Amino acid sequence: MTQATDIPKPALRAAAAETPAAPRGAWMRKVTPYLFIAPFVISFLLIFVGPALYALGLSFTNYRGFGSFRWVGFYNYVTMLQYDAFWITLRNTAFYWVAHAAPMMGIALGLALLVRSRLARYRRFFKTTIFLPQMIASVTAALVFQNFFGTTSGVLNGFLGMEIPWLTDPDLAPWAVVLILIWRGTGYWFVIFLAGLTSIDLEIEEAAKMDGANGWQRLWRITLPLMKPILLFAFVVDMVVTWRLFAEPNVLLGRAGTLAPIEQAPVLNLVVENIRAGQFGQAAATGWLLFIIIAVLTFVMFKLIGSKTRGSER
């Protein structure tokens, strides 16, 4: 989010303002920008801000969506914080992030380096295949993996001639979710890292010429440090996205459209479960707790990154 391109052109604007305009010009000039932003901003207020505030109000009630309700203060927040399922789903979500992010970023970066390497062939083909899973929807991917990991009529057990309960064993099931996340997500970051590598290419070459370094040294001493801001950014974005995880674990580990068991569920399941139980107040409170967690974590991560990368940013 650089401000570099944002520099207004005061000279030009001033010149334009002085030019004699049409009769209603001055007034129109003032109103025009508002007319352009109004449809978006007003829709946004109605669609986003309104429901957000309404949800905040709801979170202090025991409203079921019909009939009467009582104001219950922070009761919904307190019970949720006391509910071990809340902490279990938080732990699960954190696990899903940690377990998939590190290998995924590693694989994505490694593949990006390989594809960019001057020794690589068929670059376009590999770029296409690695990115392809991005075109597969989460739900679709989860169903394909469900078919793959099924116990009695699963593809993998069919190959192995065994009956390993990949998706019902609580120790194995989370890893199947992690595998989907890696499978679907790698292509995205691979493309971004490729673009990143392209943008620092020149610097690498220049630095390498000065150093006379070999391939490995170049990678460790120049490429990776230059890629660090992008990598850290990737981890933050991926973290925020993972807190919103829902489709993959639930489609893969739930059955016939039901939710995954709490032991493997992401935190959003508690919002959905409460809505389906008709507990709108509790659902809203859970949502706002989730918001607070994401906000704090993002803030902390940006602080950490800010202090670490200040030197390399312009």
Partner 1 sequence: MTDTTTHQTQTALPEEMPAERRSRTIILIVLLIAAIFFTYPTIQMLVNSFKSNDGIISNPSGLPDPWTLSSYADGFLGDRGLTRALINSIIISTTSTVIAVALSAMAAYGFAKFQFRGRDLIFAALLTTMMVPPEVLIPGQYLIFARLGLIETLTVQIIPTVTPVLGLFLIRQYMLSLPDEIIEAARIDGASEFMIFRRIILPMAAPVLSAYAILHFLSEWNAYLWPSIVATTPEVKPIMVLLPQLVDQEVGFLPVYGTIMAGCVVATLPMVIVFLIFQDKIMNSITLGAVK
Partner 2 sequence: MRTKSTLTRRGLLRTGAALGAATLATPALMRRSYAQGAKPFEVWVWGGPDRFDGRLNSFAQAYPEEAGTFDVTVRSPGAHGAEVWQALRLALASGQTLPDVVMSNYIAVPEFAELGVLTDMSDRFAEFEDDLTPAGRSLSVYNDMFVGVPANHNIKTWFYNAAKFDAAGIDPTAVRTAADFMAAGQAYRSAHPDSYIMNLGDTPIHYNYFMMLSHWNDLTLANRDGSYNITSDPRFAEVFQLMHDWRQSGIAMPIDDWSPDWQPGFQEGRIGSSLIASWMLGFLPRFMPEQRGEWEIAAWPDFSHRGSEGGGPVFMFPNGAPNTDNAWEFMSKLHLSTEGGVIDWQTRGTIPGTTSALSQLQELASNVTRPADMTDEQWQLTPGYYYGDGFMDPIIAAMEDFQVFQYDPAAPAQLDIMRRRVNPYVSGNSTLEEALEGMQADMERQIGNPYAV
Q: How far is the CB of 194 from partner 1 (least distance, A)?
A: 8
Nearer to partner 2, 75 or 235 (CB): 75
Contact stretch for partner 2 (CB under 8 A) within 24-32, 46-54, 244-252, 257-265:
257-265
Distance (Å, rounded) from C-alpha 281 to C-alpha 61? 5
Tell whether residue 207 is a contact of partner 1 (CB under 8 A).
Answer: no
CB count within 10 Å of CB 20 equals 6
Residue 282 structure tokens? 């509790």
Residues comprising the chain, all counted: 314
Binding track over 57-96 against partner 2, x by CB under 8 A = -------xxxx-----------x--xxxx-----------
Q: Does 288 bind partner 1 (CB under 8 A)?
A: yes
- Is position 154 an interface residue for partner 1 (rule: CB under 8 A)? yes
State the CB neighbour count (10 A cutoff) for residue 168: 14
To partner 1, the closest distance from the beta carbon of 230 in angstroms equals 7
Residues 112, 203, 225: CA angle, nearest 5 degrees: 60
Q: Which among 91-99, 163-171, 240-248, 303-311 is the span making contact with partner 1, rule CB under 8 A?
A: 240-248
Please enumerate in sequence order all residues whose Cβ is within 8 A of that of 237, keeping only pairs 6 or more positions apart, or say none.
none
The identity of residue 39, as a single letter, is P
**Region for 73 from its dihedrals, namely left if φ exceeds 0, alpha if ψ lies in -120 to 50, beta otherwise:** left
From partner 2, partner 1, none, interface partner of 13 (C-beta below 5 to 8 A by class):
partner 1
226 lies in the binding site for partner 1 (CB under 8 A): no
Contacting positions for partner 2 (CB under 8 A): 64-67, 79, 82-85, 150-153, 165, 168-170, 255-258, 261-263, 275-278, 280
